[in-house]
Structure 1
């Protein structure tokens, strides 16, 4: 593999405003760019400008730069409103990639909109194109109400991209299987999991206040489809525990959120309202502070492609009880770093939680194993290195140095007096 690659990461996600870096897609792009830069590669992230005061060029770290391209209004837009601006983004991206000093060795697109732009931009070039989807529309449409939230063009475009790009990086084995069912050839798929920030998510550090009850923690953005109702029903069978849920709307908007209202009503009907606490969406810096107060982390969403929350909990030394779907099926080892449970079965879940909370030795052993696995297998240095190796397989081998030039170089480097 070449010692240093010139890499372009392309995304149309929001990387400029205060909410940047709070979802899986943006976290992955930013952490990957910074880590590859530290490892000696030159990385340029191309993203759509989403804030009026955003600087066009921002240094992310050693070797890594963010360039924000004008394409549509400089504000965050959902996918449907972003799609009409893909053409303008592509035109600007094509101009950058065509400049000799900015021409990359390869382009790595993120998300289906980023892939659409990157695919058009590298046409008529020999630049390899790598694609990461960060969740597939065909999977998300299986969720309750998913067909209403997945853009009608997304599944078709993802299928075309999967078949048309040079290589697809899947985040887990389950995603790779889904891609094969979509018609992507298995040899063109490489599984590279998501990473975890081991400096931020670790066993030691500040923690939020907590009471004497054993705490079960859920961190999920989608409260309606994240298995929170199942956890509340399971709480009936774990009489000594409390459930703390982070995610959904901001804290000041909780009272007016219909999903939170339904979940709180369910907790009252089951007489567990005093043990079910909703924190709202937390700043990312506060997530490890919450996780460190947990005896167990619950990840119960039937569809969780990234599995980032289980990794963050494990890195904090918290065993994970999870539905084995998506990436969590790979990262959480059953009866080693946590427990696999079936989806939507609160009675079975409650009994399992009650049993686990009574087994202090088991929980301590799982906590040690969880932290070790998260930091050793999923640290960003390793994930970035695996990604770079996947890149290198797409590039031609460097030309071997001519023998005469190599001999001359050795003679120049040989110290004076050597061999006397």
Structure 2
């Protein structure tokens, strides 16, 4: 039976094995540092998720250490992210930025370092993020008898199905993901669609808790500054990493059927380098061929504080990804009171309620995207209603406090009922 999102709501801190007090929690995120600058090819939703989850768990009284790979020789061994949260830089591989698909050879060193640290200062629970983190954590957790939970964030089977020969993942990925799923104590999936994928890998649904990603409902809010708009009556906004699978090409094609509408694409390298980005160049050429280049603008990557004003400036936020393991942008848009038109894939099937908060359309279908957007652009009252419903949905389900409480409940399922030995990580 697939776990229900509604069954994983907040629980009291004093329940079950947490009654004895704060936990020492090790979050392992080998390539996605909570300190990273967002917008790069390998820096996105997972970085935000790990940072916000760590902070929300600290707010519930726990002590959290995030273990991530040292990718700069000048980084200190430890950095205080905020009260109750430290980032520990793990020496594994050269101290320089590398594509995440090249990190597998260094995971044995990563795991040995974790075991060395945890042997001295034992965490109560380990929660790994992404499959290579799971591989490194599994070896250390087995050696020391530590409870291990794992969140995939993305599955190699899904990536291979959609990207095929363009998939740059190591060939061992799917086998390693299966090993982690079978070897850990519990899988924390981010959406119900993932539970079915895991079952096809041989990981039973009974071993899975569904805990969604969250959104900062105080940063992303309908009230606040609004980015300046252009001369066109309507604005669409697409936000995210500038990679083909995010579907910006679908939006550009749909724009041809949406007169008097501009498209703002937010993400990618900094504004000064956007002209050199291969995907930006490809999209600009597609816009030129479609006759809409005068209505498409690329901002490049922007600071986090600039994202809510940009979202508020949109009439509709589009999220037409080919596939999306979870997809944080729909939540950010809904939190800002904006309707969302998203592809009916992955986590977006859970987050976007059609027709209450927006519309779900088939992936890779510009005509379907254009029809759904046109319907909303023609009806201001419907846009306002969708935006208000989206905000309510986010507040009731996706605040980081709720996500941390549900994650804590998952920890309860694997902790020994006897009080654990606690200590700083």
Q: CA deviation at 1:20?
A: 5.7
Q: Could you tell me how far apart the structure 1 residues matched to 2:151 and 2:334 are?
A: 24
1:6 aligns with 2:24: yes
Q: Aligned partners of 1:183, 1:105: CA distance in 2, in Å?
A: 28
- Give the aligned partner of residue 87 of structure 1: 108
TM-score of the pair, normalised by structure 1: 0.90
Q: Which has the higher contact order (CA 8 A, sep 6+)?
A: 2
Structure 2 residue runs without a partner (length 5+): 1-15, 420-425
- Which residues of structure 1 form unaligned runs of 5+? 400-420
Shift of 1:146: 5.5
For residues 40-189 of structure 1, what are the structure 2 equivalents within 5 Å?
A: 40-99=61-120, 102-145=121-164, 147-189=166-208
Report how far residue 62 of structure 1 moved.
2.5
1:265, distance to aligned residue in structure 2 (A): 1.9
Write out the 4+ residue segments of structure 1 that deviate beyond 3 Å after TM superposition.
144-148
Question: How much is the aligned-residue C-alpha RMSD, in angstroms?
Answer: 1.8
Residue in 2 aligned with 1:320? Answer: 340
Superposition deviation, residue 16 in structure 1: 7.2
Matched residue, 1:35: 56
SS at structure 2 position matched to 1:333: coil
Match of 1:19 in 2: 37
Count of residue pairs brought into register by the alignment: 397
Measured after TM superposition, the shift of residue 64 of structure 1 is 1.7
Distance 1:145 1:206, change over 3 A: farther
The answer as to whether partners of 1:245 and 1:277 remain within 8 angstroms in 2 is yes
Contact 2:338 2:384 in 1 (8 A): no
- Distance (Å, rounded) in 1 between the aligned partners of 2:163 and 2:61: 44
CA distance, structure 2, for counterparts of residue 225 and residue 134 of structure 1: 16
1:280 aligns to what? 300
Distance 1:68 1:262 in 2: 36
Query: Does the alignment pair 1:258 with 2:245?
Result: no
Please give the per-residue CA displacement for 1:105-140, whole angstroms capped at 9, x wherever unaligned.
Answer: 111111111111101111233311101111001111
Q: Deviations over 1:329-379 (max 9, x none)?
A: 101000101101112222232222222111111111111011111122100
- Give the structure 1 partner of residue 401 of structure 2: 381
The 8 Å contact of residues 115 and 143 in structure 2, kept in 1 or not, is answered as: no
Select the structure of larger CA radius of gyration. Answer: 1
- Give the distance between the partners of 1:140 and 1:72, measured in 2 at CA: 25
Report the Cα distance in structure 1 between the residues aligned to 2:373 and 2:45, rounded to whole angstroms: 28
Q: Which residue of 2 aligns with 1:335?
A: 355
Structure-2 change in CA distance of 1:262 and 1:92 (3 Å)? closer
Structure 1 distance, partners of 2:187, 2:372, is: 38
Is the alpha carbon distance of 1:124 and 1:345 closer, same or farther for their aligned partners in structure 2, counting shifts above 3 Å? Answer: closer
TM-score, normalisation: structure 2 = 0.89
